[in-house]
C-alpha cells in the first residue's frame, strides 16, 4: 500500500535526508522505525504525507505516485494519511471536542467548517473516538487543562476522526513518562488491529519497538540499514543499527499497566 | 557624568586609585555632554524661546485659569449630543478597523502570508500608513468629504488600522505553529488553518488590542474635532475661539470624566481576558 522506490531527499542546504530508500509497507502493518536522532526517521515518515517532499524516486500510496501532488490532491492525500506528533500539536485554547472535530476538516467544505456546521454523524464519530481512547469525560475541557498523556490520546482521537488509511506517528511518546508511553502505544496498537489502519511509528526506545512492532526498520544516516519482523530482532541488531553499544537511555523501561491489546 | 582629567593612568597606587570609568570613557562622556548642551543653546536661540518667556507669561496663565473657572455647569446638558457623537465615531471606526485588520494582519505575518511579495507589500503599506499623524488624516478627509463626523470616522479607521494590523501581525508571528502543522497534515486548507489554528490562539490579544484602540480613538476623536471632523472636539474648539472659557472648562471636565470611565471599563475587561 505504501511503496518507496529509490526515494532520496536532499534539503536545500545540501543535507542528504534520505538516500535511495526502497520499502514496501502492506495494508494493516504496524511498522516501527528506529534510529538515532538525525538518522532520517522523521524525514521518511513526513514524506508519506508530503510534509516534506523527496527530491528523487517515486513514492506510491495506494498505487499512485504522490510526489507530484499539489493543492487539492495533496489535501486529499493528507485526509487519507493521518499524523500524530511528539508535542501533540493540539490548539491549546480550544476545547477537546473542537480539536477532535478538526480531524474532519479535510472532509468538510471550507464554509461549513468555518461556521462550525458539522453533521451529527461527524460529531458522533468524534465523540466515539474520544470514548475509544478513554477520554470522553474531558470532551468540553480546554486542551491545555490536560496532561501530556491525555493530550496525546486526544490527538489519537483527532487522527481517528479523520478516518485515515494510514497513521504516521512521529516520536509519539518522546515527551511522556514510561507508564504513559506504554498506554499511548497500546492505544495505537489497538486501533491498528481493530481498524486495520497501516501504522508507521518513529521511536528511539528499542524495548518499545520490540514490544509493539510487527516489523522494524532501522535507519542510519538517511539509509535503511535493517528491515525485518520484530520477532527476529535482538539487542545486537540494534547495536548494528545504532552503530554503537546499547545504553540505558535507549530503553524506556516501565511496565505496560493496561496489558497488551 | 562629567569626567575630569586625572593623572596618567596605568600605575594605580593607593594615592592614585582608578576612577569609576576608564580615562578614555570619561573624555567621551564629557564631549557628548558638551555637544548636547550646545545643541540646546543653539535651538533655544534659533526659536527665540527661553525660560524667561515662561516667567513673563505666568500672569497670562493665571488670567486664563481664572477665566476657566467657574465652569459653565448649565452648558453640560448641551454637550451630550456631541459627546455621544464622539463615542459613536470611535465605536464605528474601531469596529470597521477591527474587521479589516484581520485579513491585513494575516497577510503581514511572515508565518501565514502566502508568499514573500504579499507579506512585504502589505507590511510596507501598513508602515507608511502608520507614519501619517491622525490629525493630518482628518485634515485630508475633511478636504474630501467635508466637515462632519464621517470625515472623522474615516480618519480614525485608517489611523487605528495601522496600529491594529501591526500589533496583531506581531501576535500572529509569535503563535505556536505546531497546531497549524497538525491541521495542514489532516488535509485542512489555508482558510481552515487560519480559523482552527490561528484564530483561537490570537483571540484574547485581538480583543484586548481592539479595546485599547477604542480608548485611543475616543481620545483622538477629541482632537480631530478641532479640524472640523465632528465630535465634542468641534464644540471645544468653538467655545475657545469665542472666548467662552466657562463652557470650554465644562467640556474639558466632561471629556476627562468620559475618558476615565471608558479607560477604566476597557482596562477591567482587558485584565479579565488576558
Per residue in A133-180, pLDDT (tens digit) is: 999 999 999 999 999 999 999 999 999 999 999 999 999 998 888 888
Phi, psi of A31 (to 5 degrees): -105, 130
- Is it true that the peptide bond before A27 is cis, omega within 30 degrees of 0? no
Q: How confident is the model at residue B147 (pLDDT cuts 50, 70, 90)?
A: confident
pLDDT reading at A259 higher than 80: no
Nearest by CB to A105, from B179, B186, B200: name it. B186
Per residue in A5-43, pLDDT (tens digit) is: 999 999 999 888 999 999 999 999 999 999 888 889 999
pLDDT reading at A53 higher than 90: yes
Phi, psi of A28 (to 5 degrees): 85, 0
Contact between chains at A93 and B197 (C-beta distance less than 8 A): no
- Which residues make beta-bridge pairs with A58? A5
The number of angstroms, rounded, from the C-alpha of A238 to the middle of its chain's C-alpha atoms is 21
pLDDT at residue A254, rounded to an integer: 65
Per residue in B38-72, pLDDT (tens digit) is: 999 999 888 888 778 888 888 888 888 888 888 88
Contact between chains at B189 and A89 (C-beta distance less than 8 A): no
Contact between chains at A83 and B182 (C-beta distance less than 8 A): yes
ipTM: 0.85
Nearest by CB to B192, from A49, A110, A155: name it. A110
pLDDT at residue B8, rounded to an integer: 52
Min mean pLDDT across A20-29, A117-126, A200-209, A234-243 is at: A234-243
Instruction: Name the closest residue on chain B to residue A105, using Cα atoms.
Output: B188
Best of A93, A97, A155, A174 to mutate (most B CBs within 10 Å, chain B)? A93
Contact between chains at A92 and B176 (C-beta distance less than 8 A): yes
CA distances from A68 to A11, A57, B266 (A): 17, 11, 52
The number of angstroms, rounded, from the C-alpha of B263 to the middle of its chain's C-alpha atoms is 14
pLDDT reading at B227 higher than 50: yes
The domains of chain A, with CATH numbers, are 2-250 (3.40.50.300)
CA-based end-to-end distance of chain B: 42
List the grid coordinates of A41.
Answer: 526517521
The secondary structure of residue A231, as a DSSP letter, is G
The candidate with the shortest Cα–Cα distance to A43, out of A35, A34, A51, is A51
Contact between chains at B191 and A114 (C-beta distance less than 8 A): yes
The number of angstroms, rounded, from the C-alpha of B118 to the middle of its chain's C-alpha atoms is 27
Q: What is the Cα–Cα distance from B150 to B89, expressed in whole angstroms?
A: 8
Residues 6 or more apart whose CB falls under 8 angstroms from that of B191 comprise: A110, A114
Q: What is the Cα–Cα distance from B94 to B212, expressed in whole angstroms?
A: 10
**How large is the average pLDDT for residues B104-115?**
90
**How large is the average pLDDT for residues A80-109?**
92
Per residue in B182-215, pLDDT (tens digit) is: 999 998 888 999 999 999 999 989 999 999 999 8
pLDDT reading at B169 higher than 90: yes
The number of angstroms, rounded, from the C-alpha of B71 to the middle of its chain's C-alpha atoms is 29
DSSP one-letter string for B203-241 = HHHHHHHHHHHHHHHHHHHHHHGGGT-SSHHHHHHHHHH
Contact between chains at B182 and A89 (C-beta distance less than 8 A): yes
Between residues A69 and B114, which one has the greater pLDDT?
A69
DSSP one-letter string for A70-139 = -HHHHHHHHHHEEEE-TT----TTSBHHHHHHGGGGGGS-HHHHHTT---HHHHHHHHHHHHHTT-GGGT
pLDDT at residue A98, rounded to an integer: 93
Looking at chain A, the whole-number percentage of residues with pLDDT higher than 70 is 97
The candidate with the shortest Cα–Cα distance to A56, out of A95, A96, A4, is A4
Q: Which three-class secondary structure state does DSSP give residue B261?
A: helix
Looking at chain B, the whole-number percentage of residues with pLDDT higher than 90 is 38
Pick left, alpha or beta for residue A163 (phi over 0 → left; psi -120 to 50 → alpha; otherwise beta): left
Phi, psi of A5 (to 5 degrees): -115, 100
Q: What is the Cα–Cα distance from B78 to B100, expressed in whole angstroms?
A: 35
Residues 6 or more apart whose CB falls under 8 angstroms from that of A158 comprise: A90, A99, A100, A102, A103, A129, B182, B186
The candidate with the shortest Cα–Cα distance to A123, out of A138, A153, A103, is A103
Contact between chains at B187 and A105 (C-beta distance less than 8 A): yes
Contact between chains at B196 and A82 (C-beta distance less than 8 A): no
CB-based contact, A166 to chain B, within 8 Å: no
pLDDT reading at B253 higher than 70: yes
The domains of chain B, with CATH numbers, are 74-273 (1.10.3720.10)
Min mean pLDDT across A34-38, B93-97, B105-109, B221-225 is at: B221-225
Burial classification of residue A36, based on how many CB atoms lie within 10 Å of its CB (0-12 exposed, 13-18 middle, 19 or more buried): middle
The answer to whether A39 and B173 are in contact (CB under 8 A) is no
pLDDT reading at B274 higher than 90: no
Nearest by CB to A79, from B176, B181, B187: name it. B187
Strand order of the sheet with strand A64-65? Answer: A16-25, A2-10, A56-61, A64-65
CA distances from B245 to A85, B67, B129 (A): 69, 6, 36
pLDDT at residue B80, rounded to an integer: 85
pLDDT reading at B136 higher than 80: yes
pLDDT reading at A49 higher than 50: yes
CB-based contact, B71 to chain A, within 8 Å: no
pLDDT at residue B1, rounded to an integer: 44
CA distance B175 to chain A (A): 11
Looking at chain B, the whole-number percentage of residues with pLDDT higher than 70 is 96
Nearest by CB to A105, from B179, B181, B188: name it. B188
Q: How confident is the model at residue B10 (pLDDT cuts 50, 70, 90)?
A: low
Amino acid at each position: 500500500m505504501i511503496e518507496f522506490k529509490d526515494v532520496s531527499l536532499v534539503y536545500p542546504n545540501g543535507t542528504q535526508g534520505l538516500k535511495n530508500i526502497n520499502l514496501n509497507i502492506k495494508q494493516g502493518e504496524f511498522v516501527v522505525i528506529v534510529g538515532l536522532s538525525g538518522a532520517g526517521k522523521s524525514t521518511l515518515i513526513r514524506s508519506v504525507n508530503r510534509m516534506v517532499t523527496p527530491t528523487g524516486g517515486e513514492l506510491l500510496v495506494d498505487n499512485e505516485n504522490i510526489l507530484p501532488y499539489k493543492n487539492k490532491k495533496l489535501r486529499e492525500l493528507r485526509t487519507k494519511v493521518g499524523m500524530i506528533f511528539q508535542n501533540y500539536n493540539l490548539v491549546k485554547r480550544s476545547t477537546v471536542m473542537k480539536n477532535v472535530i478538526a480531524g474532519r476538516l479535510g472532509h468538510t467544505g471550507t464554509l461549513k467548517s468555518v461556521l462550525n456546521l458539522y453533521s451529527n454523524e461527524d460529531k458522533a464519530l468524534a465523540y466515539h473516538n474520544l470514548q475509544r481512547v478513554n477520554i470522553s469525560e474531558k470532551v468540553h475541557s480546554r486542551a491545555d487543562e490536560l496532561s501530556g498523556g491525555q493530550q496525546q490520546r486526544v490527538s489519537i482521537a483527532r487522527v481517528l476522526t479523520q478516518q485515515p488509511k494510514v497513521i504516521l506517528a512521529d516520536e509519539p511518546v518522546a515527551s511522556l513518562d514510561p507508564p504513559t508511553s506504554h498506554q499511548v502505544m497500546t492505544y495505537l496498537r489497538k486501533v491498528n488491529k481493530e481498524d486495520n489502519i497501516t501504522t508507521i511509528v518513529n521511536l528511539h526506545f528499542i524495548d518499545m519497538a520490540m514490544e509493539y512492532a510487527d516489523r522494524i526498520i532501522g535507519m542510519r544516516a538517511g539509509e535503511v540499514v535493517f528491515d525485518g519482523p520484530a520477532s527476529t530482532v535482538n539487542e545486537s541488531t540494534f547495536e548494528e543499527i545504532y552503530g554503537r553499544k546499547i545504553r540505558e537511555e535507549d530503553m524506556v523501561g516501565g511496565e505496560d499497566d493496561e496489558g497488551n491489546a | 557624568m562629567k569626567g575630569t582629567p586625572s593623572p596618567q593612568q596605568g600605575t594605580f597606587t593607593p594615592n592614585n586609585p582608578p576612577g569609576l570609568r576608564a580615562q578614555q570613557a570619561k573624555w567621551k562622556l564629557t564631549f557628548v555632554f558638551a555637544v548636547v548642551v550646545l545643541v540646546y543653546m543653539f535651538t533655544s536661540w534659533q526659536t527665540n524661546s527661553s525660560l524667561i518667556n515662561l516667567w513673563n507669561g505666568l500672569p497670562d496663565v493665571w488670567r486664563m485659569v481664572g477665566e476657566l473657572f467657574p465652569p459653565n455647569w448649565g452648558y453640560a446638558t448641551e454637550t451630550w449630543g456631541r459627546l455621544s457623537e464622539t463615542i459613536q465615531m470611535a465605536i464605528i471606526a474601531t469596529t470597521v478597523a477591527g474587521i479589516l485588520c484581520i485579513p491585513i494582519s494575516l497577510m503581514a505575518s511572515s508565518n501565514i502570508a502566502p508568499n514573500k511579495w504579499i507579506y512585504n507589500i502589505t507590511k510596507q503599506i501598513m508602515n507608511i500608513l502608520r507614519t501619517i499623524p491622525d490629525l493630518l488624516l482628518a485634515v485630508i478627509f475633511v478636504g474630501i468629504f467635508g466637515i462632519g463626523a464621517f470625515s472623522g470616522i474615516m480618519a480614525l479607521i485608517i489611523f487605528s488600522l495601522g496600529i491594529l494590523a501591526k500589533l496583531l501581525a506581531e501576535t500572529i508571528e509569535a503563535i505556536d505553529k505546531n497546531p497549524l502543522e497538525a491541521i495542514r497534515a489532516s488535509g485542512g486548507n489555508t482558510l481552515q488553518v487560519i480559523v482552527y489554528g490561528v484564530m483561537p490562539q490570537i483571540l484574547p490579544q485581538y480583543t484586548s488590542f481592539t479595546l485599547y484602540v477604542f480608548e485611543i480613538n475616543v481620545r483622538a476623536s477629541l482632537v480631530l474635532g478641532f479640524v472640523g471632523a465632528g465630535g465634542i472636539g468641534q464644540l471645544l474648539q468653538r467655545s475657545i475661539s469665542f472666548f467662552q472659557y466657562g463652557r470650554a472648562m465644562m467640556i474639558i471636565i466632561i471629556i476627562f470624566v468620559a475618558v476615565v470611565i471608558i479607560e477604566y471599563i476597557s482596562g477591567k475587561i482587558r485584565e479579565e481576558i488576558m
